[in-house]
Amino acid sequence: MGFKNLINYKKIAALFAVLLLCGTNVLMAQTTDATATAATDDAAKSAMWTGVGYYVLLFLLLCFGVAIIGRILKVYDLSNQLQNKKGIHWNNIMGVFCAVFLVVGGSAAYWSITVQGSMSLPEAASAHGVHIDEMFLTTTVLTMIVFVITQILLFTFLFIYRHSEKRRAYFLPHNNTIEKVWTIIPAIVLTILVVFGFFTWRTVTNSQQVKGDINIDITGHQFAWELRYPGKDGVLGRKNYRLTTALNNLGIDYKDRNSFDDLKADTMVIPVNHSIRLNINAQDVIHSVYMPHFRVQLNAVPGLPTFFKFVPTITTAEMRAKEDNPQFEYLVYCNKICGGGHYNMKKIVRVVTENEYQQWLLQQKPYLTDGLKKELKIADVSQQKSGVTNRLALNN
Amino acid sequence: MSTLAVQDHGVHHDHDHDHEHHHDTFLTKYIFSQDHKMIAKQFLITGITMAVIAMILSILFRIQLAYPDKSFPLLETLLGRFAPGGRLNPEFYLSLVTIHGTIMVFFVLTAGLSGTFSNLLIPLQLGARDMASPFMNMLSYWFFFIASVIMLSSFFIQKGPAGGGWTIYPPLSALPKAMSGSDMGMTLWLISIICFVASSLLGGINYISTILNMRTKGMDLWKMPLTIWSFFLTATLGVLSFPVLVAGLVLLIFDRSFGTSFYLSDIVLGGKIMPFEGGSPILFQHLFWFLGHPEVYIVIMPAMGIASEVMSVNSRKPIFGYHAMVYSLIGITVLSFIVWGHHMFVTGMNPFLGGVFMITTLIIAVPSAVKTFNWLATLWRGNIRFTPAMLFAIGMVSYFISGGLTGIFLGNAALDINLHDTYFVVAHFHLVMGSAAIFGMLAGVYHWFPKMFGKMMDERLGYLHFWITFIGAYLVFFPMHFMGLDGVPRRYYAFTEFESMKRWLSVNVFITWSAIMSAFAQVAFLCNFIYSIFWGKKATQNPWQANTLEWTAPVEHLHGNWPGEIPTVYRWPYDYSKPGAEEDFIPQTVPFSQTMSSNLPHDFEDNELGMQAHEQWVAANRANEEVK
């Protein structure tokens, strides 16, 4: 009986495989046809529906196959019971599955960690980034140990202690010593991580304004970043969102003399090994300045100016050589959902030597364009007039 | 409600509503039911429906992520103007992400999970005739139902559903012109969630009062199963934190509709200067995450309780460290209120606050670790029966470990700088609260299906469902960690605009196909579920040989749960494989006097009479043996 079943089973499996193959072949033909004859709408529509139909058919076939296998297992089980043999030992099968899962899953995880892991976490290109990466490495090592041990225990226990009629479970309601041990050990490990992390965090964020910092203004709006560099004076002029016009899109306040030489830039060019202070703003919704290579991220919040200080340590040219990719660029992009164009809101960041930086600065145009000057002159005149009328009013 | 009167005829019991259930109409039995078992089923079926819808949404946006350049004419047929030319509209993509998150977090894993199992198990496992307030219970379900309908109805309006992410941070959600989803769709989202919170509060208050007041004779707090402890603490969390969300949402409604500036300041939208002044978008985030963080524990704690119970029953072993399990649940509950700031490390919040929140966040890993080790110790030297429920409980533990460990990275403010809002976060929470909680819920469905419907589910289909889903979810979420570490942000419509992200495209295709595979595995569950309700094998009264009270109630549902007197409880719920006992389980209703051979001195703490009896019995037995 069991033998017959086996034959039966194999036949059906083979049949099923053939059907599957046919299905996919037809489907592939269909899809190529569909792309070729997409000229008319009707043809495309019908092609689409046939495509869908084949997928549905394929799925139904799969369900049918599963049902048949289930039926066979049931028949096999019942026939065994009729012959006073034990049915299928599902507990054993599942126990073995758990062991297999542990081995296969473990090797898959290992593959993923080594292959995909090496694709990730690019080298830190900033001074504080190195500290963050040390922290990351410590955390990874500690958690990986726990991950491996607990998952191995979990699945080996499942395999070893799978159900058996002959055995009884070991009655063990609690054990205070061991519970204390595994409360205290995680507590100690976490204390290490907390202390280490706390100090890393403080060094990253404890950033006083120091003389010599290069102040760069970065403002997010839907869906682009605007950059503003201070001119020769090294000071950025004040801004007021109420002054925003089509020409003065950042609302720079030109009553502040520091504004006059502020520069507009398309690329964030920064000198290597120099402390950069990014002043982060947003005009409409929350954006987030994200520069993964520098381990920099801070939200740009309308009405709440923030800043992030960092020191880039690797120039773009050096990074291109390291990555062996002549097209490599550092990027700043948005990492807080901000609307339909969120996925494409980037600016190139280029880290250069001090010399190159100074040369680049010379080529940048000020924000105060001729058009804007014209617009502002009108504003100046009207302001003077209103000043005069005020004085007159006071005289009265 | 327990009474000492002995009644020998089965159906009749001393309940005021007794006469009602004799002439139940269809309307009172299935629709406006006040019976906790029926309400539980209503919650479950609505929850499953919502889960299927949210799952389909996730497949839609996964297809977009895997094939950003391809056009699928079918999508245009299905979605119309939301997918012109067979390609998803970027704003609709964000709507899909938003609604998927909202439905899964609130409608499936909060209402579907707590609503189903709190309603089903609290009265049955505590020995109560029904909930403290059946009418409130019914209202709770109908508010939930209305919330679901409103949420789904937003797909049928001109500008589409809300699209600002499930966290709906203003100003994006507050300015209708900022994106199409922030228009009418956002209004519907807010109304829906407020109805939802009403439902959740009505339910939560009910659960708490039932647990505190309506336990049967002998059922003191330390004899409650861990499921009840977890439902109790979950309900407490919900009752304390959901009102804060409502406060936040009401202010958002004011900002949207009445021109206030609670969350808005200094805004220039599309070149137009807006009049808002003096508000703070960060305020909303504080209010939101004051619920938002407890919310993830509202999601995971019932799953923990269910997993504990299922693992104990199927390992035929008492749960290891019952007290430690309860204390760690309490610890998680308390700590969960003071960790919300870890969602805001990079918002520009004062860095010192970030440091403090980091400390509290990492402390929460200690009770979580204790729970994990206790589960492992429960399995150790057990006699493990692999029912589908057991497999799902194990899956829950595995996911909880994998996802919980990455929480240690994200809870660390310094590391969060680089990981915040990347795919690392997506991987983390989908494992630790998404997959783990849904597996807890599925474990519950498989385990208590006989109690709910009086039928058994098919085990082999359950196995198939488990393995495909379990492997599939790992295949989906494991690679995402590495994408996140490489700086790939979440909620991106396409990764084609960035040269550096293109190399992850093949991984995205792989993830999408794994997701589709897992989604198809749910068909096995749905077929099994529906088929078994109508044509499943009849269940016996105690199919899993479990100790808890619900298995002493008859298979046929009756209003009031037990015919005659409510059973009295004498012992804790985890006396499995006690040495000296005849069988490998002793239900809670069996007094110690009937199990002299298996009693331990430990059973008689604070019970001097019992201790004396036990000592006498031990002495007598020893004498007997000496005679032999």
Domain edge (last residue) among B470, B504, B538: B538
Question: CA-CA distance, B228 to B225, in Å (whole number)?
Answer: 6
Subunit contact A201:B77, Cβ cutoff 8 A: no
CA distances from B27 to A345, B32, B135, B152, B345 (A): 55, 6, 15, 24, 51
- Which positions ≥6 away from B152 have C-beta within 8 Å? B53
Question: Is B399 inside a domain boundary?
Answer: yes
Residues of chain A neighbouring B485 (CB-CB closer than 8 A): 117, 120-121
Interface test with B, best of A145, A157, A178 (most B CBs within 10 A): A157
Q: Is B127 on the interface with A (CB under 8 A)?
A: no
B105-116 confidence digits (pLDDT tens): 999 999 999 999
Dist. CA A112–CA B105, nearest whole Å: 28
Confidence of residue B581 (pLDDT cuts 50, 70, 90): confident
Tell me how close the Cα of A176 comes to any Cα of chain B, in angstroms: 8
Alpha-carbon distance of B158 to B150, in angstroms, equals 15
| pLDDT on residue A387 | 44
Position B500 scores a pLDDT of 85
- Which residue, of B475, B504, B538, is where some domain finishes? B538
**Closest C-alpha among B615, B455, B446, B472 to residue B538:** B455
Cα B256 off chain centre by: 31
Q: By CA distance, what is A184's nearest residue in B?
A: B366
Q: Is the peptide bond preceding residue B171 cis, with omega within 30 degrees of 0?
A: yes
Residues B111, B179 within the same domain: yes
Q: Which of the residue ranges A88-92, A216-220, B332-336, B512-516 would you say has the lowest mean pLDDT?
A: A88-92
Residue in A246, A122, A304 with CA at minimum distance from that of residue B487 = A122
Domain match, B165 and B201 both: yes
Residues B228 and B342 in one domain: yes
- Estimate the share of chain B in helix, then strand, then coil, as percent rounded to the nearest 5: 70, 0, 30
Q: Is residue B499 part of a domain?
A: yes
Looking at chain B, how many residues does it have? 628
Is A248 or A32 the better-scoring residue by pLDDT?
A248
- Between chains, do A163 and B415 touch, taking CB under 8 Å as contact? no
Predicted confidence at residue B26, as pLDDT, reads 80
Rounded to whole angstroms, the Cα distance separating B463 from A67 reads: 14
What is the phi/psi pair of residue A349, to 5°?
Answer: -115, 130
Cα nearest neighbour of B582 on chain A: A168
- Locate the chain A residue with the closest alpha carbon to B328: A183
* Closest listed residue to residue B217, CA positions, set B568, B476, B516: B568
Q: Distance between terminal CA atoms of chain A? A: 118
Which residue of B379, B461, B547 is the best one to mutate when testing the A interface, meaning the one whose CB has the most A CBs within 10 A? B379
Q: Looking at residue B5, what is its pLDDT?
A: 38
Residue B380 has pLDDT above 90, yes or no: yes
Residue B16 in domain? no
In one-letter notation, the amino acid at residue B18 is D
Q: How far apart are CA A68 and CA A61, in angstroms?
A: 10
**What pLDDT digit, counting tens, does each position of A355-378 carry?**
999 999 999 988 888 888 887 775
**C-alpha closest to that of B152 among B178, B182, B185:** B185
Site of tokens 């057991």? B390
Distances from the Cα of B55 to the Cα of B51, B473, B516, angstroms: 6, 12, 10
Residue B419 sits in the same domain as residue B293: yes
Distance separating alpha carbons of residues B183 and A21, to the nearest angstrom = 48
- Using the Cβ of B439 and the Cβ atoms of chain A, whether some distance falls under 8 Å is answered with no
> Are the C-beta atoms of residues B2 and B217 closer than 8 Å to each other?
yes
Chain B window 598-617: which residues touch A at a Cβ cutoff of 8 Å? 602
Q: What is the pLDDT of residues A317-350, one digit of tens each?
A: 999 999 889 999 999 999 999 999 999 899 999 9
Pairwise CB contact (< 8 Å): B478 & A296: no
Residue B544 lies in a domain: no
Lowest mean pLDDT among A43-57, A326-340, B347-361: A43-57
B49 within some domain: yes
| B87: CATH | 1.20.210.10
Contact between A201 and B165 using a beta-carbon 8 Å cutoff: no
Express each pLDDT in B452-511 by its tens digit. 999 999 999 999 999 999 999 999 999 999 999 999 999 999 988 888 888 899 999 999
A305: DSSP letter: -
Q: Give me A91's structure tokens.
A: 């507990």
- Say whether pLDDT at B226 is over 90: yes
B532 and B564 assigned to the same domain = no
pLDDT band (50, 70, 90) for residue A386: very low
pLDDT above 60 (res B182): yes
The verdict on B178 touching A (C-beta cutoff 8 Å) is: yes
**Banded pLDDT at B152 (limits 50, 70, 90):** very high
Reading the block at residue B465, the tokens are 């469902």
Asked if pLDDT for residue A388 goes beyond 50, the answer is no
Query: What percent of chain A stands above pLDDT 90?
Result: 50
- Residue A118's identity, in one-letter code, is S
In DSSP notation, B29-78 reads: IIIS---HHHHHHHHHHHHHHHHHHHHHHHHHHHHHHH-TT---HHHHHH
The pLDDT assigned to B1 comes to 40
Give the relative orientation of helices B36-66 and B134-153 as an angle to the nearest 10 degrees: 20
Mutation site, A60, A92, A133, A150, interface B, largest B CB count within 10 A? A150
Residue A39's pLDDT band, with cuts at 50, 70 and 90, is: low
Average pLDDT, whole number, for chain B? 91
CA distance A389 to chain B (A): 28
**Residue in chain B nearest A338 by alpha carbon:** B172
Quote the CA–CA distance of B329 and B408 in Å, as a whole number: 19
Range of the structural domain that residue B590 is part of = 560-627
**pLDDT above 90 (res B596):** no
- Tell me how close the Cα of A19 comes to any Cα of chain B, in angstroms: 19
Q: How many whole angstroms separate alpha carbon B328 and alpha carbon B370?
A: 7
B383-415, pLDDT tens digit by residue? 999 999 999 999 999 999 999 999 999 999 999
Check if the beta carbon of residue B393 is closer than 8 Å to that of residue B306.
Answer: yes
Q: How many helices (H) and strands (E) does chain B have?
A: 19, 4
Please give the angle made by the CA atoms of B368, B242 and B200, to the nearest 5 degrees: 95
pLDDT in tens, A73-84: 888 888 888 887
Alpha carbon B225 to its chain centroid, in Å, reads 17
B463 and chain A: CB distance < 8 Å anywhere? yes
Contact B459/A at CB under 8 A: yes
Whose structure tokens read 């799953």? B303
Structure-model confidence comparison of residues B15 and A311, the more confident one? A311
The 3-state secondary structure of B413-453, one letter per residue:
HHHHHHHCCEHHHHHHHHHHHHHHHHHHHHHHHHHHHHHHH
How many domains, in total, are found in chain B? 2
CA distance B103 to B299: 13
User: Nearest CA of chain B to the CA of A295: how many Å?
Assistant: 5
Closest approach of chain B CAs to the CA of A394, in angstroms? 31
Q: Are residues B211 and B346 in the same domain?
A: yes
How large is the angle between the packed helices B436-453 and B281-315, nearest 10 degrees?
A: 50
Does the structure show a pLDDT above 80 at B2?
Answer: no
Instruction: Give kind and range of the element (H or E) at residue A328.
Output: none
Beta bridge partners of A330: A349
User: Which of B354, B379, B422 has the CB atom closest to A158's CB atom?
Assistant: B379
- The answer to whether the beta carbons of residues A54 and A42 sit under 8 Å apart is no
pLDDT classification of A6: cutoffs 50, 70, 90: very low
Q: Are residue B194 and residue B331 in the same domain, yes or no?
A: yes
Average pLDDT over residues B431-446: 95
* Same structural domain, B489 and B574: no
**Tell me, what's the pLDDT at A212?**
80
Looking at the fold, whether B570 and B529 belong to one and the same domain comes out as: no
What ipTM describes this predicted complex?
0.90
Residue B547 covered by a domain: no
Residue A36 has pLDDT above 50, yes or no: no
Average pLDDT over residues B377-385: 93
What chain B residue is nearest to A162 in terms of C-alpha separation? B384
- pLDDT, residue B12, reads 43
Residue B509 and residue B614 share a domain: no
pLDDT (mean) for B243-259? 94
Residue B124's CB is within 10 A of a number of other CB atoms, namely 22
Residue B272 domain flag? yes
Interface test with B, best of A201, A244, A281, A319 (most B CBs within 10 A): A201
Query: According to the model, what pLDDT value does residue A14 have?
Result: 59
Length of chain A in terms of residues written: 396
Percent of chain B whose predicted confidence (pLDDT) is above 90: 78
* pLDDT for the residue numbered A389: 45
Quick check: A195 pLDDT over 70?
yes
Q: Which of B150, B320, B318, B123 is nearest to B213 (CA)?
A: B123
Question: How far does A395 lie from chain B, in Å, by closest CA?
Answer: 34
Same domain (yes/no): B209, B321: yes
Peptide bond into A223 cis (omega under 30): yes
In terms of domains, do B198 and B244 share one? yes
pLDDT at position A48 is: 80
State the pLDDT at residue A380. 53
Q: How far is B20 from chain A (nearest CA, A)?
A: 44
Using an 8 Å Cβ cutoff, are A281 and A305 in contact?
yes
Query: Last residue of some domain: B488, B507, B538?
Result: B538
Q: Report residue A368: phi and psi, to 5°.
A: -80, 85
pLDDT of A218 reads 94
DSSP line for A112-155: IIIIIHHHSSPPP-BHHHHHHHHHHHHHHHHHHHHHHHHHHHHH
User: Residue A21 has what pLDDT?
Assistant: 56
Contact state of A171 with B318 under an 8 Å Cβ cutoff: yes
Return the higher-pLDDT residue of A29 and B332: B332
Query: Does B316 touch chain A if contact means CB atoms closer than 8 Å?
Result: yes
A121:B485 CB<8 A: yes
Of B264, B318, B382, the CB nearest to A161: B382
* CA nearest neighbour of A231 among A261, A255, A271, A259: A261
Entry pTM: 0.90
A306 CA to centre of own chain = 22
Q: What are phi and psi of A291, to 5 degrees?
A: -130, 85
Please give the mean pLDDT across all residues of chain A: 84
Confidence check: pLDDT of B36 > 50: yes
In a domain, B304, yes or no: yes
